[in-house]
Amino acid sequence: MTKIEQKKSKKGTWIALCCIAALYVLLFLIDNVFPSTSFIVMLTPVLKKGAIYSLLCVSMNLLNGFTGLFSLGQAGFMLIGAYTYAIFTIPVAEHMSVYQYFDGGAIQFSIPEAIGSILGPTGGAFFGSIIAIILAGCVAAVFAALIGIPVLRLKSDYLAIATLGFVEIIRAVFQWNSLGVITNGSNQLRKYTAFSDMKLTIGGATLKFGTIFPFLIVMLCIIVIVLLINSSYGRAFKAIRDDEVAAEAMGISLFKHKMLSFVISCFFAGVGGALLAMFQTTIKAQSFTSAMTYEILLMVVIGGIGSVSGSCIAAFLYIACSEWWLRFLDSGKFLGLSVPFFRDGFRKVVFSVVIMIIVLFFSRGIMGDRELSFSGIAGGVKKLSGRLKKKDIEEKEDTGNE
Amino acid sequence: MSGFLNAYLPHILTGISVGGQYALIAIGYTMVYGILRLINFAHGDVFMVAGLVMVYATASMPMYISIPLVIIATVLLGFVIERVAYKPLRSAPRMSVMISAIGVSYLLQNCALYFTGGLPQTYPVIPFISDSVTVFGQTTKMVTLITPVLTLLLVVILSLLIKYTKMGMAMRAVSKDFETSQLMGIKINSVISFTFIIGCFLAAVGSLLYFTNYQSVIPTSGAMPGLKAFVAAVFGGIGSIPGAVIGAFIIGICENLIKGAGWTTFSDAFTFVLLIVILLAKPTGIFGEKATDKV
């Protein structure tokens, strides 16, 4: 961070940092101080899910927007991440009930418990799950490397369809009964460490980190991605996106850079999958369909292909709309009037129509390929969740521009 | 040998039937790809909508009205999708059109979810093709026998259409070179619309046959056959109609043999393994033309 601060104009940095600090203070208050009114109960899941999806969008954007590889494999790598995380954090005592059809499963080991024996149960859950999340990303990255060797030779739509195929293959493998001792077959995994277990006991007081935790992880990951994009590797990615042949002529190794981008993107997809598993508290291989990838792709398009801040804004907007603001469309009542066609599913119809309008008429999305600039925010109204989030990105963005 | 046949005959029969149904969908993919270089992700969902229209139509109308109605509605849907979602993006990058196709697919699925209320809709029994029939000692539905015959008949008609009519010639020209054919005075929009109309017509026929074998239609029931049909199109060589048909039959039969061998979990995955193998070994498919990249 110190490097960034030196390069940037001081004022902007300070304001941005203050905003991030304010965001985290607010999240901390939500976790520990605010009473759980209905507003907070609605707000917290939106914040958590929005943060997770921003990471997923940014990781997809790294591949689709910055490297120009049209991959539709996101859901498969999320699945790998989510499963890796869940398998290694289910408490050993619960194995019998979770793997009830597989005699308690093969892996009698739990990272949070192993860490917990040193740091105590709350510390174990907190730091153990961080290790499990990193492991989840690594496993997804290893799979990506293996899949990437054959697949990355393909171009544009062939790549899309091949990665889409891999999602189906991965999904089938994870539901395979013979692997049931590890993956629990087609049954769901549950009872692993979730966001609600994120507590730390400091000086006798127990502090909850349920909402802050995803934000911390996601922010760290996005910082890494942004630094990567602004590095020489990132410039090579963009060169490949703009013209493969020209990039190759300039001495950029196509395969090496495509592979790098693919593996890194999938690492973060795995991390995102692990966070999603924490959010959902139960996971099932069936639910990681290609529709999930499409949803993330549409968020990336709404935000603007090739814009990190756009992806984050879009993810929060999309989640907030679909989980919260547009709920009334499903409830059958609007401003006290009962509207007959406002029934279950109408929200999604409205949503998809809006998406189609964006795709057709505003194909550059919210941000296009620009990043949020400070002056843009200064004028804007500060929305607590989405707006503050992207500010930390914008601040990192500027390092590359100077 | 006879033991093998007895054990696997029902699966081979189902495979041929399913293969024929995939073939009807695959033609829609392959023709659109041949002309627009677009994977029409919405095609599988158009197929699903055809199934739903059938469910709703037979609820209030007799069979001889509902079947033509389904076909007309599906064709109309395909036409509208092309005009609204793909035509404005003709000069946009290919990725945007593909994203638009994914958007249309999402929209159709959500609309279906809204109209069905998320409940599986029971597919009506179509007289004659749902009747039971005994082949080589195996009881099966009439549709199993009709599908391959009907598929081949439609493919022959389509091939003749493409070979001998003016529109067919235009379609071949457009798939060869988009820009030049425009310069030659071919009305590109009508050719593309016509392609979508044929594709959707075949998808509607395919849905009549496909869903007869299944109990019900759900909003996502088009996604998997759609993807498989696309794989079939790639397998046979995208842009080639006979290739798509042969690919579809191979996929249909293999998939059902795998199911018969007790590997149901992997019957879907197999299709994609096949896809990846073919993409790596021979990216142009069995009958595909070799594409040359010009810098």
Tell me the per-residue pLDDT of B29-39, one tens digit each, with 9 for 90 and over: 999 988 888 88
Do residue B279 and residue A355 have CB atoms under 8 angstroms apart?
Answer: no
Contact between chains at A162 and B275 (C-beta distance less than 8 A): yes
CA A344 to chain B, closest CA, distance in angstroms equals 7
Interface subset of B 101-140, CB within 8 angstroms of A: 102-107, 109-111, 113-114, 117-118
pLDDT computed for residue A134 by the predictor: 95
Terminal CA-to-CA distance of chain A, rounded, Å?
Answer: 16
What end-to-end distance do the CA atoms of chain B give, in Å?
A: 55
* Shortest Cα–Cα distance, A248 to chain B (Å): 12
SS3 A288: coil
**A with B: how many residue pairs have Cβ under 8 Å apart?**
125
The parent domain of residue B224 ranges over: 2-281
Partner-chain residue, chosen from B103, B272, B276, that has the shortest CB–CB distance to A355: B103
Decide if A291 and B220 are in contact by the 8 Å CB cutoff.
yes
In a domain, B276, yes or no: yes
| Max Cα-Cα span within chain B | 61
Q: Is A161 touching B (CB cutoff 8 A)? A: yes
What's the Cα-to-Cα distance from B3 to each of B7, B8, B9, B132, B277, rounded to whole Å?
6, 8, 10, 24, 31
User: Is the residue at B16 inside a domain?
Assistant: yes
Q: How many domains does chain B have?
A: 1
- Residues with Cβ within 8 Å of A111's Cβ and at least 6 positions away in sequence, in order, are A88, A89, A128, A129, A131, A132, A135
Q: Chain A, 271-290: which have a CB under 8 Å from a chain B CB?
A: 289-290
| pLDDT tens for chain A, residues 1 to 402 | 445 444 546 677 788 788 888 888 888 888 888 777 888 888 888 999 999 999 999 999 999 989 989 899 999 999 999 999 999 998 888 888 888 888 877 777 888 888 888 887 778 888 888 999 999 999 999 999 999 988 888 877 788 888 988 888 898 889 888 888 888 888 888 888 888 888 887 777 778 888 888 999 999 999 999 999 999 999 999 999 999 899 999 999 999 999 999 999 999 999 999 999 999 989 998 889 888 999 999 999 999 888 899 999 999 999 998 888 877 777 766 666 676 677 777 888 888 898 899 888 887 888 877 777 655 555 454 444 455 455 555 555 554 443
ipTM score here? 0.86
Question: How far A348 CA lies from chain B's nearest CA (Å)?
Answer: 6
Q: What is the reported pLDDT for A390?
A: 58
Residues B244 and B23 sit within 8 Å (Cβ to Cβ): yes
Using CB atoms, which residue from A175, A297, A353 is nearest to B99? A297
Q: Are the Cβ atoms of A346 and B114 closer than 8 angstroms? A: yes
Name the residue in chain B with its Cα closest to that of A297. B99
Distance CA B268, CA A166 (A): 11
Whether B218 maps to a domain, the answer reads yes
Which amino acid is residue B243, in one-letter code?
G
B165-224 pLDDT, tens digit each: 999 999 999 988 888 998 999 999 999 999 999 999 999 999 999 998 887 888 888 888
CATH of the domain at B70: 1.10.3470
B275 touches chain A (CB under 8 A): yes
| Chain B residues close to A361, C-beta within 8 Å | 88
pLDDT at A383: 47
Separation between Cα atoms, residue A387 and residue A397, nearest integer Å: 15
Residue of B96, B98, B106 lying closest to A363 (CB–CB): B96
Q: What is the pLDDT of residue A5?
A: 43
CA–CA gap between residue A375 and residue A378 (Å, rounded): 5
- Across chain B, what does the average pLDDT equal? 87
Give the Cα separation of B79 and A108 in Å (integer): 57
Is B94 close to A166, i.e. CB distance below 8 A? no
Instruction: Measure A208 CA to nearest chain B CA, in Å.
Output: 38
- In this complex, is the C-beta atom of B89 within 8 Å of any C-beta atom belonging to chain A? yes
* Inter-chain touch B279–A154, beta carbons under 8 Å: yes
pLDDT for position A291:
86
Residue B286 lies in a domain: no
* Chain A residue numbers touching B272 (CB-CB < 8 A): 164-166, 168-169
Classify strands A199-202 and A205-208 as parallel, antiparallel or unpaired. Answer: antiparallel
Q: Using CB atoms and an 8 Å cut-off, which of residues 83-122 of chain A contact chain B? A: none
Q: Which residue has the tokens 């041949």?
A: B34
Q: Predicted confidence band at B291 (pLDDT cuts at 50, 70, 90)? A: low
Contacts of A353 in chain B (CB under 8 A): 107
pLDDT of residue A136: 95
B110-162 tens-digit pLDDT: 999 988 888 888 888 888 777 787 777 777 788 888 899 999 999 999 999 99
Torsion of CA A305, A310, A313, A317, to 10 degrees: -40
Q: Has residue B294 been placed in a domain?
A: no
Strand partners, A285: none
The reply to whether B263 falls in a domain is yes
* Separation between Cα atoms, residue B232 and residue B255, nearest integer Å: 12
Nearest to B268 among A168, A301, A305 (CB): A168
A165 touches chain B (CB under 8 A): yes
Is A172 within 8 Å of B105 when comparing Cβ atoms?
no
Picking from B83, B265, B278, B280 by the largest number of A CB atoms within 10 A of its own CB, the best residue to mutate is: B265
Give dist(CA A239, CA A213) in Å, integer. Answer: 35
A213-225 CB burial, b ≥16 within 10 A, e <16: bbbebbbebbbeb
Bridge partners for B250 per DSSP: none
Q: Would you call B106 and A298 a contact, using CB atoms and an 8 Å cutoff? A: yes
In a domain, B259, yes or no: yes
Q: Is B276 on the interface with A (CB under 8 A)?
A: yes
pLDDT at A227: 93
H or E element at residue A380: none
Euclidean distance between CA atoms B110 and A350, whole angstroms: 9
User: Which residues of A are less than 8 Å from B276 in CB distance?
Assistant: 150-151, 162, 165-166
The Cα A382–Cα A389 span in angstroms is: 10
Tell the burial category of B164 from Cβ atoms under 10 Å away from its Cβ (0-12, 13-18, 19+).
exposed
A158 touches chain B (CB under 8 A): yes
- Report the C-alpha gap between A136 and A267 in whole angstroms: 8
Helix axes A254-280, A111-151, angle to 10 degrees: 140
What confidence tier does B293 reach under pLDDT thresholds 50, 70, 90?
Answer: low
pLDDT of residue B278: 86
* Smallest Cα distance from A350 to chain B, Å: 9
H-helix or E-strand containing A48?
A: helix A38-61
In the numeric block, which tokens belong to residue A386?
A: 């989405």
Note whether residue B288 is domain-resident. Answer: no
B138 φψ region: left (φ > 0), alpha (ψ -120 to 50), beta (else): beta
pLDDT at A381: 43
- Chain B nearest-CA distance from A221, in A, is 26
* Predicted structure pTM score: 0.87
The residue type found at B237 is G
| C-beta separation of B205 from B54 below 8 A | no
Minimal-distance CA residue of chain A relative to B33? A157
